Structure 1
């Protein structure tokens, strides 16, 4: 079932087999193009894995896509959100309004949803601006990155923990906590069919964003969490993966191994970058010198902000491993190779 990555205009709902359907839902203005929403059949109504971006076009794609495979969105029993990001959680609230469905999410991301919803618009922008300034971003970059904020996701009804079974009558769908991309990211093991819904955790050709926010936090290590979570998923065996982006593919464990190697190589390159620097560097300077899929100068503001978060996560892991150190008493914070 593996195929090349195709634009959203070429995507169609498909029968993924075994009572599972895949419905592509567009992400307006995003190079990812779309999120794959999965619908699991049950006698009590379908259960969705994720819901898609909160946008009228996306809503029509979800509603009509389900309709094209014989499902009425008003019959949806529940929405399991793999993580709180807007291309996954955005439409969950509207599905609930339409059908009375429950929304389920891991407790760590539930806490983030509550935090986001409690932020007033001005306070959120101030938080972002201060974070960017401490990372070494310039005033113009700070203004550009903080310009837009997605609508916050709906509050979930059900709080999930690692190992919980999801209420899907006739099926065994188990929660696998896989932090890294977000603190509460989950995969979902369909145990009665030896398949796994991987959300953004394991994707067939790209890797998920792993970042720290604020960038200079020293009390978390999301990249190490992510690498540990990949090992956890590998331990489940060579399950067929149903990811939230790109395409279905046959061997989750093999792809997880490739992703671990990718990040270990990136850690080596960042350490080498710092060893060549004549003085400690800010997070923003390090991000600008890293190798990306396009030149730093061509990055739009939002992607620069995400790249800085990715740089920060790798720096934090190197710091935890004792390879690098952060300078004390400097603003913005700077990093150097450990002497």
Structure 2
């Protein structure tokens, strides 16, 4: 019975041209972005910002799901309406980030491991009762001299698989996020090789943990050169490398793939997603969409600046940014559309 529910939820999250909004920033990450925008780092401003997001008119036309943070899932509007209820009323499936961030991996200098497996079963039960129907866990893989190591990859992918198994036990669709960071000066070829190894290892571990692939969603990085690399490549080359890597590693039984933006600009993240659909839409056995955070939120945050009088303008830009990603999922996006957003 749970498997049937999981598959139904996963299918709904991948439906049409919609995508996911990752509004699951930790308090620390949210505060960093507030400081950069000149916004006070208080719980009330964080609440107000998240109210701005969830009350954006017509957001359900763009999004099938929204990933919340533990603080956010309990929050409400100034009028006392729970955010999670607003999302459900808009036809947006609520999700929850359940990992607890990364720490240094013992004996592996420069590499990280994600915390949060302790008491995860109990937390998932609580989140399901609150209305969350999917969850997210992020593992971080860095490319540098001598890393990532096999030990780091194996540890992080095993933890992702254990998390996924616990989610499915609770009736919650797991989003598995093995992020190969774009930080560094590595080439796109190196990113391809590492991403391929990471995904092969992930699906091996998922099989060992008996995870139902039809009831999960993959949230990977795109295959990109490092952001400090002197050899940046075209949008089409990123699309080709990314889809080729996914076709080599992701089973056709997986219902959908939702990309993280990973620090790309909003325009580039959208353009890359669009190019994949233009060139490879008929070759892909799974749905391919977005699960962006900064690439949707940052322009709106820069306009809002914590001021009530800027809420409507920020919401308009948030909706327009998400709408462009919908268009990219259909393979109909053009860079000229960015001019219209800038002008408005």
The normalised TM-score by structure 1 is 0.28
Considering fraction of residues, name the structure with more helix.
2
The normalised TM-score by structure 2 is 0.28
Higher RCO, Cα 8 Å, sep 6+? 2
